[in-house]
Structure 1
Amino acid sequence: MLNTITLVWVYDREMSSSEWSLDVARELWGLNHSIRGDTITVDDEGYLAISIGGSSVRIKDVMEKYGFDVAYIRVLPLIGKAMRLVYETFTELARIHGFKGGLQPVFPMKVNPIDIVIDAIWRYGEKYGWGFNTGSIGELELLSKYAGKGPRILVYDGVLSDNVARILEGFREKGWRVVVDVESEHDLDILSKHPELEVGLRIKPLFKPGGKWAHSAGLEGKFGLTVNTLVKLREEYKWIEERARLLHVHAGSQIYKWSDVEAFINEVYNIYVQLTANGFSRLELVDPGGGLAYPYLDTRSGSIESPDYTVVDYFNHMLRVFSRLDKHPVLVYEGGRYIVAAHRIVVAKVVDVRPYSAEQLSSTGTSVVEDVLRGVRTIRDLKAVLKEYRRLIHRGSQGQQYTLEERELAEDLVSKIREEVVLKLSELLRAEPSSVDEVINDPFLYKLATSPSKRYILNLSIFADIPDSVLVNQYFQVAPVQRLNEKPDVVAVLGDLTCDSMGEIGEYVSHVRMHVKADDWFTRMDLRLVMAPYKRLKLGGVPLHLPVKGENYYVAILDTGAYQDPLTMKHNLIYGAPEIIMDEVDGEPKIEVVERNGKYL
């Protein structure tokens, strides 16, 4: 039997004529996307490019032009595109449903309060009257430079103080509409001294949606009043009925199941109906919070990274429900993640490629494994062989003694399983593609087939540049910036420059929604399974190419524009990547470079 290296080379030659296409590449690397899909594109030569104002700029060219090994690329028109998508979707559905209440969008500044983002929200949101939602004095101070530029709406959440109330009154005096959410008796005490400020009622829902932030909703959640508490406070603060204009109910962030969103909207509607019928008749604004999920992977699979609904579903149900009323309220849109996530890309150069495992290949006993695998004809045969091998290893780990032959088999399994068994697995699946479900449904085979073979070291810091990857295991889509017209060579874990073991990206979701021949399901060099048509696969690493000698090979981490900027850390004192800011001025792309003082490599 040919050795592993020769087999891989033969396979590569045989598959060189397979029908790999850019359409397959876009699916594999998650580039078919409802928000960024026609802005972050793949050109005809397989380069990841950014299209602005009718022009296309290759990310690789920009990185090499400025000599950057790491950079944040900000595509500001993507913020405007997301805002337009939200507003136009609402407007069209409101027309269909005969809804007369209107839309009041606000941007929650906690999502990304840096100057350039707030300025983009202000500029792109001018035509829609896009307001702001704040919750700290620092956010108010940042926003104050816009106070005299024209009136917007400002919704303030959080614990109020006399100092904050005075700042809010300053906005009101300049023509802004200011609404302060009430969450406690403390807030009412402060507001009683500032009668010009309008009041929002932040109410806790009974329903608790799923997701990473589910703990922030429900009766035990951090935000809001229970209805029971509100009824009691109304007895002491009788003016609250007169001044209450807004109902705000918090659902949590990134609600990815449509059934949860639907149930939550229904509860918000019920709360509004009950409050307006019981003394709070002047409520005119309804804010269902920021639960609309951003599609980090836009395949509608109903998973944590890919919601099973769209902004169309979101507004369609909300408008259907609230249009039942005789008097329609104004609906507040507060989904900040949806607006800014796509605009920021982290791009980093691969500075080193290492084996993922420390295992050393040995020829000792190799023929034993090869002889056994030669007789394997089906996935079932392979599972039976692996079961026996695992039994031998398990027996040894329990302190039992191996015979010399058994030890030879066990050692051979450890050193060769990822080469010979994965090779056999790819041969079987290419011969009988319909057996892929047997692999997917077998945890051991599935792990082998999708495991990484390489570790790529990137010139970045996960903690500094995409901290949510560590903090909440947030999924971010990753794609190479070049050679997308080629099949990936390997599955690789991405490691950063830090000395922390958590500084890695080792999870990748492949969900290819098109027919692809079985020959193209596998990487070229390590023969990992990276796709199966219409199947959602969770890989142990990212499908990438092996850099050739002298090549600057870059990787892009997409959709990092929400929360990552304000959460960036100084872990290992690696922070402050340079920024490449892309905008559109008079229909033409404009590129500005902002150097930072961060030290990477």
Structure 2
Amino acid sequence: MNREEWDINVAKELWGLNHSIRGSIIAVDEEGYLVISLGEQKIRVKNLLEKHGFDVAYIRVLPLIERTMRTVYETFTELAKVHDFKGGLQPVFPMKVNPIEVVIDAIWRYGEKYRWGFNTGSLGELELLSKYLEKGGRILIYDGVVSDSVMKILVRFKGNGWRVIIDVESEHDLDILSKYPEFEIGLRIKPLFRPGGKWAHSAGLEGKFGLTVNTLVKLREEYKWIEERSRLLHIHPGSQIYKWSDIEAFINEAYNIFTQLQSHGFTSIEIVDLGGGLAYPYLDTRNGTIESPDYGLIEYFNHILKVFSRLEKHPTLVYEGGRYIVSAHRILVAKVVDIRPYSTEQAQSLRSVRVEDFLSNVRSIDDLKKLVNEYKKYIHKSKQVHQYTLEERELAEDVISKVRDELLAKIYELVRNKPSQIESVINDPLLYKLVTSPSKRYILNFSIFADIPDSVLVNQYFQVVPAQRLNEKPDVLAVLGDLTCDSMGEINEYISHVKTPLEASDWFTKMDLRLMLIPGRRLKLGGVPLHLPIKGENYYIAILDTGAYQDPLAMKHNLIYGAPEIILDEKNGEVEVKIIEKNGKYL
């Protein structure tokens, strides 16, 4: 590939646009613009923000919610035929995932044909859902702490034709429910199994949710009605289980708990809720990492159906994967408002100074390693023993910068001439850090705390992609900084996974010669591959898959809170666009 050319197919791999859920809806057009494809229309993200004068906005692509709901239902239906499973599917949306009005409205509308229900866990969620109280009964699974205030609202839902099932997690819940004999209950049981991942602590015997079996046995003696009223078994494995072996183990344990409860008198249980363990692929490369699960929806349903179809009487299975349903629908887009050097840059006066002799005897990466280690020791010692004047400090910074750039140029030259030497680079921590370090800091008009708080709270990975020039090779690796005063308001990690074979010269960015990819290898970079904006260009960056949890978790750090919204929907084959100002008013 010529260095001035850039294959859009390679761009899709580098920026994570080959995705099983976003599919062809979030795509790239022939001129390199990030587009949203709905029906026959391709809407350029950059144009959408410029048209409305926004430096930052949330774009909500509601048809992505509908598409994912349909995929879940159809995948289950097809696999149920394969396994001759007769129990059926009962999908529910956990409102904690995203309880804002536009999302709940979409779940209600799109879910009508599937009788998509809701899972709630608080009084506030019930009050919000009351908007739909008289619009036709769905299933409502309540798994929060039960109180008389909660029960008053649940009585209204039941009276309007909703099927209400209340999870039991403690003796407190049973005391309250003793006064409401008309309600069906669910048994939320703690599994022994504890999977890996960021939310592993929420499962297992020490987890926050559910009853242990020995507690259930004791409560059964006091509350004789438990057996008769139990309709549902609920087992929570933790969120975002990314390893298939953990999913298999959890499903097998859930099956065992169900069959054991049935054999010990709980024969009225007819529904099994396996919680929200299905992982959303924030990076869809099947690596078996926290960002990229090594399985998908087909494998998930296939194993569940294979296991539960062994039973003589098949239960109804609850699908509760809310993150999987709504993550893709929201795109955060922000304009670059400033570009700064990540560390020191060469002064113009130093560019005539030659440091080539420093590298004159380097013939291989091994030679370079020895030289870099010696140089590092020298710099460290110099910093400790020398008190610099301002002039000396300026010169020292310039020399360090020039030597660093020469080192990067030398690595590029050596790898280009002998690609196999890249192994020596990536296996040496110092060289790898050098060659994958950012050279720029892009300041964007957004707030990580307000717009993608999970980036700070749990180090959640979100896919970053430029909204334009995807048909051009990236110039630099850059850290993304927000407008807050907090040092945590940055995105400084990027995962690259490109499979297409490329010449070694194309593994590096164009301007700062940073390593951005190795065909067939997963790389963790210290910055995002981006272009240097042309003078006068509005350069926008999109952050994908921000539709789950980010809205309800948003903070008011620096009093920066939220962004205007662009709502895209399809009505009667036409694309409908609504704009919501930051204060919540429709334009």
Q: TM-score, normalised by structure 1?
A: 0.93
Aligned pairs for 1:41-80 (under 5 A) are: 41-80=27-66
Are 1:184 and 2:179 counterparts? no
Note if contact 1:18-1:519 (Cα within 8 Å) is conserved in structure 2. no
Give the corresponding residue for 1:343.
329
Aligned pairs for 1:496-515 (under 5 A) are: 496-515=482-501
Give the corresponding residue for 2:519.
533
Q: 1:246 to 1:438 in 2, by over 3 A?
A: same
1:365, distance to aligned residue in structure 2 (A): 11
Note if contact 2:233-2:272 (Cα within 8 Å) is conserved in structure 1. yes
1:21, distance to aligned residue in structure 2 (A): 0.4
Note if contact 2:334-2:446 (Cα within 8 Å) is conserved in structure 1. yes
Are 1:271 and 2:264 counterparts? no
Aligned pairs for 1:324-473 (under 5 A) are: 324-361=310-347, 369-396=355-382, 414-473=400-459
| 5+ residue gaps, structure 1 | 1-14, 402-406
The one-character-per-residue Cα deviations of 1:550-573 (angstroms, maximum 9, x if unpaired) are 111000010000001011111111
Give the corresponding residue for 2:277.
291
Distance across 2 between alignment mates of 1:74 and 1:555: 16
Are 1:147 and 2:147 counterparts? no
1:163, distance to aligned residue in structure 2 (A): 1.7
Distance across 2 between alignment mates of 1:151 and 1:65: 42
Give the corresponding residue for 1:520.
506
SS of residue paired to 1:354:
strand
SS of residue paired to 1:194:
coil
Give the corresponding residue for 2:477.
491
Are 1:237 and 2:237 counterparts? no
Note if contact 1:361-1:415 (Cα within 8 Å) is conserved in structure 2. no
Give the corresponding residue for 2:75.
89
The one-character-per-residue Cα deviations of 1:451-488 (angstroms, maximum 9, x if unpaired) are 00000010111111111111111110000000000001
% identity of equivalent residues:
73
Distance across 2 between alignment mates of 1:411 and 1:77: 52
1:417, distance to aligned residue in structure 2 (A): 3.9
Distance across 2 between alignment mates of 1:595 and 1:410: 50
Are 1:212 and 2:198 counterparts? yes
1:256, distance to aligned residue in structure 2 (A): 0.8
The one-character-per-residue Cα deviations of 1:374-419 (angstroms, maximum 9, x if unpaired) are 3222211211211222232344466599xxxxx9999787333431
Greater shift, 387-396 or 197-206, is seen at 387-396
Note if contact 2:286-2:292 (Cα within 8 Å) is conserved in structure 1. yes
SS of residue paired to 1:526:
coil
Are 1:568 and 2:528 counterparts? no
Note if contact 1:523-1:529 (Cα within 8 Å) is conserved in structure 2. yes
Distance across 2 between alignment mates of 1:415 and 1:166: 68
Distance across 2 between alignment mates of 1:504 and 1:417: 27
Are 1:579 and 2:565 counterparts? yes
Give the corresponding residue for 2:96.
110
Note if contact 2:323-2:548 (Cα within 8 Å) is conserved in structure 1. yes
Distance across 1 between alignment mates of 2:536 and 2:384: 49
Distance across 2 between alignment mates of 1:525 and 1:365: 16
**Aligned residue pairs, count:** 580
Distance across 2 between alignment mates of 1:17 and 1:347: 28
Distance across 2 between alignment mates of 1:363 and 1:424: 22
The one-character-per-residue Cα deviations of 1:524-543 (angstroms, maximum 9, x if unpaired) are 11011101101111111111
Distance across 2 between alignment mates of 1:375 and 1:104: 69
Give the corresponding residue for 1:323.
309
1:126, distance to aligned residue in structure 2 (A): 0.8
SS of residue paired to 1:527:
coil
Note if contact 1:293-1:307 (Cα within 8 Å) is conserved in structure 2. yes
Note if contact 1:393-1:410 (Cα within 8 Å) is conserved in structure 2. no
Amino acid at match of 1:322: F
The one-character-per-residue Cα deviations of 1:545-592 (angstroms, maximum 9, x if unpaired) are 001111110000100000010111111111131100000011111111
Greater shift, 190-199 or 360-369, is seen at 360-369
Distance across 2 between alignment mates of 1:321 and 1:543: 44
Give the corresponding residue for 1:556.
542
SS of residue paired to 1:424:
helix
SS of residue paired to 1:439:
helix
Distance across 1 between alignment mates of 2:574 and 2:114: 23
1:360, distance to aligned residue in structure 2 (A): 4.5
The one-character-per-residue Cα deviations of 1:157-207 (angstroms, maximum 9, x if unpaired) are 111011211211211111111100000000000111111111000011111
1:366, distance to aligned residue in structure 2 (A): 8.5
SS of residue paired to 1:148:
coil
Amino acid at match of 1:561: G
Note if contact 1:36-1:342 (Cα within 8 Å) is conserved in structure 2. yes
1:16, distance to aligned residue in structure 2 (A): 5.3
Note if contact 2:346-2:402 (Cα within 8 Å) is conserved in structure 1. no
Greater shift, 179-188 or 145-154, is seen at 145-154
Note if contact 1:489-1:545 (Cα within 8 Å) is conserved in structure 2. yes
Distance across 2 between alignment mates of 1:239 and 1:442: 65
1:334, distance to aligned residue in structure 2 (A): 0.5
Distance across 1 between alignment mates of 2:345 and 2:206: 49
SS of residue paired to 2:216:
helix
Q: TM-score, normalised by structure 2?
A: 0.95
Note if contact 1:18-1:520 (Cα within 8 Å) is conserved in structure 2. no
Alignment match of 1:474 (pick from 454, 460, 465)? 460
Note if contact 1:369-1:409 (Cα within 8 Å) is conserved in structure 2. no
1:53, distance to aligned residue in structure 2 (A): 1.8
Q: 1:314 to 1:330 in 2, by over 3 A?
A: same
The one-character-per-residue Cα deviations of 1:462-519 (angstroms, maximum 9, x if unpaired) are 1111111111111100000000000011111011111111111111111112212222
SS of residue paired to 1:149:
coil
Distance across 2 between alignment mates of 1:540 and 1:400: 30
Give the corresponding residue for 2:236.
250
1:358, distance to aligned residue in structure 2 (A): 3.3
Give the corresponding residue for 1:10.
none
Amino acid at match of 1:172: K
Q: 1:244 to 1:366 in 2, by over 3 A?
A: farther
1:426, distance to aligned residue in structure 2 (A): 1.1
Amino acid at match of 1:60: K
Distance across 2 between alignment mates of 1:351 and 1:391: 38
The one-character-per-residue Cα deviations of 1:12-71 (angstroms, maximum 9, x if unpaired) are xxx855552000000000000001121000000000000112211001111111010000
Distance across 2 between alignment mates of 1:410 and 1:60: 42
The one-character-per-residue Cα deviations of 1:224-277 (angstroms, maximum 9, x if unpaired) are 000010000000001000011111111111111111111111111111111111
Q: 1:589 to 1:411 in 2, by over 3 A?
A: closer
Note if contact 1:491-1:540 (Cα within 8 Å) is conserved in structure 2. yes
Amino acid at match of 2:371: V
Distance across 1 between alignment mates of 2:224 and 2:399: 76
The one-character-per-residue Cα deviations of 1:321-343 (angstroms, maximum 9, x if unpaired) are 11111111111110100000000
Greater shift, 266-275 or 352-361, is seen at 352-361
Distance across 2 between alignment mates of 1:231 and 1:369: 77
